[in-house]
Structure 1
Amino acid sequence: MGEKLRFGTFIAPFHPLRENPTQAIERDLDLVVHLDKLGYDEAWIGEHHSAGYELIASPELFIAFAAERTRNIRLGTGVSSLPYHHPLMLADRINQLDHMTRGRVMFGVGPGALPSDAFMMGIPVAKQRDRMDEALDVLVRLLRGETVTRKTDWFELAEAKLQMTPYTRPSVEIAVASQVSPTGAQAAGRNGVGILSIGATQTGGFNALASNWAIAEDVARENGKTMDRGRWRLVGPMHVAATREEARAQVRFGIEDWLYYFREVAALPLAPTEGDPIDALVDNGMAVVGTPEDAVRQIERLQQQSGGFGAFLTLDTNWAEWDAKKKSYELIARYVMPKFQDLNINRDTSLAWARDNRPRFIGEAQAAVGARVAQHIQQKGTENIRPEILAAMGLDKKTDAAE
């Protein structure tokens, strides 16, 4: 048995404007609780500050609240936008969460996805990736408990050190967001941390999976670090039901709201612009809208393209009504996870062994029963023995009486 593939969700989240925002955030919390009960491994929570759909401004606040409602699931910032925060303040909050969650927190980082967020803070979009690199280089050291002095054109650290020793040693797990460009892979390799391939099923992101991992490994070697495929997470949309027809009917509920956001507002070119959107998303491999078997094939496709990764995260889209969405996650847990986690290998072996040895076991069982019946006949006769039992032994009451 090899290393099992982990499963989780990536909650940006996406909530259309026609919904109650307070209830929408509550459902996000309820989803994490639901996944914890289903045995999911991870949930990643986004940070956004504009455009009205992605409502969670502080993944740390969400994680602190969700940690109290859950038992096992690990909770990550998906992702913290590094140019928006002073590194010491952000490191201190993550370190506190590491203690409060007893090591269940993960730290996902990125440059910031929405240009409108950066604009409101006066951050030039062209500088976001450089600032992410500068911040990450010191955050890795701070979260390991080191003392850091650094001055840039946007932050300064003077003998900065976290006042609490990290709960997780040597540090909380860190992962860098990656789409198509090598920026995330380079940052991950330079610091020897994980990768969150957020657009893994999008055509550009899918095609870049293997090359970006190779870039990360090359940069890691140059910096005396190593990369671990177990810390590579791939993200993609997935909604499953008992049949493809049911799945397609269910996602009609919210897919147009999601498409509107990506067509008109967000900076990511994820949404098809022509034809039936479900056909387009499924046919180009970007999304699964179908059955658990379709989900299995998608993950196998990603494994082949990437060369192997550690976790698959379902992009939480809110395409379907709440109950149908929860059922989709349940079906993935019931029928998809076992395929990639070797959950039934011993069960299969046990069943095959019992089946192949059935004649011997049945023979021994029948012999044991026969011996007891014969013993009873010898002691008490056949008066209380059912005729079919005697027939099975080649006896009848007359024969027994004559004997």
Structure 2
Amino acid sequence: MRLGIFLLAAQFDAGDHGAVLTAAMDAGIAAEEAGFDEAWIAEHHFVPYGLCPSAVTFASMLLGRTHRIGVGTAISVLSNQHPVALGEQTALLDQLSGGRFTLGVGRGGPWVDLEVFGTGLRRHDEAFAESLDLLMRWLTHQRVGADGEHFSFRKVPVVPRPRTYPHPPVIVACTSRETASLAARHGLPMLLGMHADDAEKAAMVRTYECAASACGRDPKAVEHAAAAVAYVADTRREAVEVLRRAMPKWLRRGLSAHVTVDGRQRHMRDPVEYTDFLCRIHPVGAPSDCVRRLSRTAERTGINRFLLFAEGAGVGTATLENVARLGKEVLPALQKQEAAH
């Protein structure tokens, strides 16, 4: 099992943005010290749900302040930027980090971001497949041109070329069967969100495997990943109470701040009910509860790579304590359990 810390740079209370971002960076550094394999950073625009507008920039800073841990974006919003620009940044970080960088990409939502960055709703609704294809060609070839509906340019040299063959690690955020099938055609693993329970994760894996087999790829050749809320306390009751005090207010403020580019209405879950749901399906509780939940999810879904959202208490010091306890009390128990099997 491979475990990473998932950072949103979440703004739980009104306050200094720099302090929130610094706390997220500190948590990423602490993840290496705690023995985690990876640290991941999310990207959001114009909402307090997460204060990091450039996951690649944050990842580059964290790579520079760590030595062993892998660092990834979860995710970089492909609909907001040119695939070649993102490919260049990925190749640069792949070279300078010695291969420690993983690019996570996703479609994103139909948010006002598309208006602000000038990419437009059509890029979101129609061009994700073309964008992903161009990105992957950039990461695997020496010269690349485009003659598509959304991207068209003469062949140019790829400079710098990545160091990792055949390309740097790339993972695709999947919330639909269409995107899962697209990832399968490229032979790229899926990143599944915190909202998905074990049954939904298992269904997405089956969709992926069917699509991979249909195009002649080995459906077991990739390592999918899933994001999960993780909080350790002495008892499950205590852990749930901590998250119930902090997360509903943050979810209400953060998710309601999203504005669609075309005025369409978006359904938002009840924040308290959603918090309770997340606590039920994810590793929240005493260390033994966390180990049991992660093991059960792995058994039911076949996923053995998890990105653990550790900021749920809403306080930087509590996040650092949570990361430390996960590293000290959960990781070794999982490793011992795996060794026994």
Q: TM-score range by the shorter chain?
A: 0.7 to 0.9
Deviation at 1:45, TM superposition (A): 1.4
Indicate conservation of the 8 Å contact 1:292/1:336, yes or no: yes
Provide the TM-score with structure 2 as the length reference. 0.88
Instruction: Summarize the Cα distance change of 1:273–1:65 in structure 2 as closer, same or farther, 3 Å threshold.
Output: closer
Aligned partner of 1:153 among 139, 145, 149:
149
Aligned position for 2:201? 209
Provide, for residues 62-113 of structure 1, a one-character-per-residue CA deviation record: whole Å limited to 9, x for no partner. 1111112111111111111112222221111110011111110001010114
Cα pair 1:241 1:291 within 8 Å, conserved: yes
Whole-Å Cα distance in 2 between the matches of residues 238 and 22 of structure 1?
24
In 1, distance between residues paired with 2:291 and 2:267?
A: 25
Shift of the 16–129 alpha-carbon distance from structure 1 to 2, 3 Å rule, reads same
Q: Which residue of 2 aligns with 1:264?
A: 256
- Distance in 1, matches of 2:271 and 2:49, equals 20
Separation in structure 2 between the aligned mates of residue 166 and residue 90 of structure 1, nearest angstrom: 13
Q: Is residue 286 of structure 2 the alignment partner of residue 295 of structure 1? A: no
Tell me which structure has the larger Cα radius of gyration.
Answer: 1
Distance 2:24 2:267 in 1: 24
Q: CA deviation at 1:314?
A: 0.8
User: How far off its partner does 1:302 sit?
Assistant: 1.2
Structure 2 residue 97 is matched with structure 1 residue 105: no
Question: What are the residue-to-residue correspondences of 1:325-364 with 2, within 5 Å?
Answer: 325-342=319-336, 345=339
2:177 is equivalent to residue 185 of structure 1: no
Q: Could you say if the C-alpha distance between residues 49 and 337 of structure 1 is closer, same or farther in structure 2, counting changes exceeding 3 Å? A: same
Structure 2 CA distance for aligned equivalents of residues 271 and 300 of structure 1: 27
State whether residues 82 and 131 of structure 1, in contact with CA within 8 Å, keep that contact through their aligned partners in structure 2: no
1:293 to 1:84, Cα distance in 2 relative to 1, 3 A: same
Could you tell me which residue of structure 1 aligns to residue 233 of structure 2? 241
Contact 1:262 1:270 in 2 (8 A): no
Question: 2:72 aligns to what SS in structure 1?
Answer: strand
- Is 1:20 the counterpart of 2:8 in the alignment? no
Helix, strand or coil for the counterpart of 2:112?
Answer: helix
Name the counterpart of 1:133. Answer: 129
SS of 1:168's equivalent in the other structure is coil
Q: CA deviation at 1:253?
A: 4.9
- The superposition leaves residues 170-198 of structure 1 with CA deviations (integer Å, 9 ceiling, x where unpaired) of 2111100012x213311210100111111
| Distance across 1 between alignment mates of 2:222 and 2:214 | 21
Contact 1:15 1:318 in 2 (8 A): no
8 A Cα contact 1:33 1:70, kept in partner: yes
How many pairs align?
Answer: 335
**Cα deviation 1:144-194 (Å, max 9, x = unaligned):** 134332223332232133122321112111100012x21331121010011
Q: C-alpha distance in 2, partners of 1:191/1:236?
A: 25
Q: Which residue of 1 aligns with 2:164?
A: 168
Stretches of structure 2 that go unaligned for 5 or more consecutive residues are 261-265
For residue 331 of structure 1, report the CA deviation from its aligned partner: 2.0
State how far apart, in whole Å, the 2-side matches of 1:234 and 1:325 are: 20
| Residue in structure 2 matched with residue 225 of structure 1 by the alignment | 217
| Corresponding position: 1:198 with 2:190 | no
Q: Is the 8 A contact 2:49 2:255 kept in 1?
A: no
Instruction: Provide closer, same or farther for how the CA distance between residues 129 and 172 of structure 1 changes in structure 2, counting only shifts above 3 A.
Output: farther
- C-alpha distance in 2 between matches for 1:263 and 1:164: 38
CA, structure 1 residues 47+279, in 2 after alignment: closer, same or farther (shift >3 Å)?
closer
Measured on the aligned residues, the alpha-carbon RMSD in Å equals 2.7
Residues 124, 61 of structure 1: alpha-carbon distance in 2 compared, 3 angstrom cutoff: closer
Distance in 1, Cα, partners of 2:293 & 2:100: 28
Q: Pick 1 or 2: higher relative contact order, CA cutoff 8 A, min separation 6.
A: 2
280 and 129 in structure 1: CA distance in 2 versus 1, 3 angstrom threshold:
same
Stretches of structure 1 that go unaligned for 5 or more consecutive residues are 349-403
Corresponding residue SS for 1:254: helix
Who is 1:351 aligned against? Answer: none
Does the CA-based 8 Å contact 2:27-2:319 persist in structure 1? no
Q: Distance in 1 between matches of 2:148 and 2:222?
A: 33
274 and 112 in structure 1: CA distance in 2 versus 1, 3 angstrom threshold: closer
What one-letter code is carried by the residue in structure 2 that aligns with 1:251? L
CA distance in 1, matches of 2:125, 2:304: 25
Q: Distance in 2 between matches of 1:49 and 1:262?
A: 11
- Give the conservation status (yes or no) of the 8 Å contact 2:63–2:97: yes
TM-score (normalised: structure 1): 0.75
Distance between the aligned counterparts of 1:343 and 1:101, measured in 2? 32
Report the equivalent of 1:354: none
> Partner of 2:263 in structure 1?
none
SS of 1:26 mapped into structure 2? helix
Would the aligned equivalents of 2:240 and 2:285 in 1 still touch at CA under 8 Å?
Answer: yes
Q: 1:309 to 1:146 in 2, by over 3 A?
A: farther
Report if aligned partners of 1:174, 1:193 keep a CA contact under 8 Å in 2: yes
* 2:88 aligned partner: 92
Does the Cα contact within 8 Å between 2:79 and 2:107 map onto a contact in 1?
yes
- Identity rate, percent: 25
Instruction: Name the CA distance, whole Å, in 2 between partners of 1:126 and 1:194.
Output: 25
Q: SS in structure 2 opposite 1:43? A: strand
SS at match of 1:9: strand
One-letter amino acid matched to 1:214? R
Conserved? CA contact 1:258–1:317, under 8 Å: no
